[in-house]
Structure 1
């Protein structure tokens, strides 16, 4: 689940940063004379109450030391205060270095070890001197939920998962039926009677069930569970396996037709030849596709 949440965060990171930095910039004064810590504290209080899911907000001085108590609505964070210097924490040095509001990658919280994301904004006086760094810690799961709700895509996302799940289930049922029928045909006609035609038909059914299984696996993991591979070749790999199985099934069918027509209807051999020619062109196209995909990745 954690890997999935981190992957999901990368998708909504831009929107999350825009929203939380907007809140910080709207509520906190910056680059003005005589900015006191009380004003920063009050601004962070407003933000925390606007985002109930936030763990806590706090203020660091120009050296990275926490100089305020935790601003939070959660009891377990109220009396917690980090005494040591936080200048080496990502949210501090990145905000200071970039001189703008930043949103960190997910990391284990100092309190409890839960995965959190921090939004931090440096506060300067009118002379451009660093005064404070305001920080808000947000749980990773809460930030995902919050941004999806703000974007209004939670319902659509769940609907897509349900639809893809239904299709994956239906295709898996077909896959199982094809496999069972192929195995049954193989043992019924090849072991007892050595029927070559039925043996080929059984092979086709099992091959098609394998192709469908690859398709079901892709739908299930990528669209329902949400565990997508980051490698750029991932989607192409699935397509190649699926098309490869189809090519094998069609080639076997073409071979069957050649034997069948050669024995009972020689005048129809041209149809078998046309099917094999189509399979050949499909195989050439697949090879060209694989070559170009590999070239793009390199």
Structure 2
């Protein structure tokens, strides 16, 4: 059972119901005199041409008894089921209760144990009396492919996940290289205090800070885009990652600016202006980050 699929279905459920119910209502006769099973079978053929990935189609009478054998390309479903009583199924009593076309929540198929949904469309005679219920079973993964092409199970979704995985791997390698370089640079000075160079400490700190910033970004990409984790406060997690990433960059730039100030103050005062420009850029980043955080706090929830 794929939790991500269920979450995706919850997001597109209204659109899915509207789409499938439109297909069924267009193909099936309704509220006309003398509706026969032959008329409905013709409609099912039309539906099967439009929806090519359905698992099964069948028809119930007003009491919930299946009046034709199941229509399916799968031999486990096909030409079986006539006479079965389905009045205890959720799609039957939902149609009876709502008196309209319905789309069920995902549930495990008895035969395949895969998650499926059922579209159930009531057929009324000219007097408004229920005659039949046309039911179409569709695998949840196929529903997402039809209604939500960017689904993680669709081909485009898998391609995007693969591309994100490559970027995540590359950025993870960059973070690892920066981390190793920072650690090696620090310990290359030895354990004696007299050998410690302040410049090397600053450089190591910058490398480790950048490594941490990239690692945060990699972790967010891995969770959200590659593994497809769907957290309750998804938007908040993205904002936190962005703040941490920008904060780490600002810290690294601040250390670099401090190093430049010390360096140019000792060797060439004329170049001190470049350090001032960098400090002004850092200040602008800080102001921008402050405005961003303030806007998040003021954003109404719900």
Shorter-chain TM-score: which interval? 0.7 to 0.9
Aligned counterparts of 2:148 and 2:295: Cα–Cα separation in 1: 37
User: Which residue pairs with 1:5 in the alignment?
Assistant: 5
Is residue 54–residue 137 contact of structure 2 (8 Å, CA) maintained in 1? yes
Secondary structure, aligned partner of 1:75: coil
Unpaired runs of at least 5, structure 2: none
User: Which residue pairs with 2:240 in the alignment?
Assistant: 237
User: Which residue pairs with 1:43 in the alignment?
Assistant: 43
Aligned counterparts of 1:148 and 1:274: Cα–Cα separation in 2: 48
Q: What's the CA shift string for 1:203-241, capped at 9, x where partnerless?
A: 111111121122233334434444454533233222112
Aligned counterparts of 1:158 and 1:77: Cα–Cα separation in 2: 29
Q: 1:190 to 1:99 in 2, by over 3 A?
A: farther
User: Which residue pairs with 1:200 in the alignment?
Assistant: 202
Q: 1:95 to 1:238 in 2, by over 3 A?
A: farther
Aligned counterparts of 1:242 and 1:129: Cα–Cα separation in 2: 63
User: Which residue pairs with 1:130 in the alignment?
Assistant: 130
Aligned counterparts of 1:44 and 1:110: Cα–Cα separation in 2: 22
Aligned counterparts of 1:75 and 1:236: Cα–Cα separation in 2: 50
1:284 counterpart = 2:299: no
Unpaired runs of at least 5, structure 1: none
User: Which residue pairs with 1:166 in the alignment?
Assistant: 166
Q: 1:158 to 1:21 in 2, by over 3 A?
A: same
Flag the structure with higher helix content.
Answer: 1
Aligned counterparts of 2:47 and 2:284: Cα–Cα separation in 1: 62
Is residue 175–residue 210 contact of structure 1 (8 Å, CA) maintained in 2? yes
Secondary structure, aligned partner of 1:123: strand
Aligned length: 294
The Cα of 1:97 is off from its aligned counterpart by 4.7
The Cα of 1:291 is off from its aligned counterpart by 2.2
The Cα of 1:32 is off from its aligned counterpart by 0.7
User: Which residue pairs with 1:121 in the alignment?
Assistant: 121
Q: CA RMSD in A?
A: 3.4
The Cα of 1:183 is off from its aligned counterpart by 1.3
User: Which residue pairs with 1:109 in the alignment?
Assistant: 109
Aligned counterparts of 2:277 and 2:191: Cα–Cα separation in 1: 32
Counterpart among 230, 252, 257 of residue 254 in structure 1: 257
The Cα of 1:197 is off from its aligned counterpart by 1.3
The Cα of 1:30 is off from its aligned counterpart by 0.6
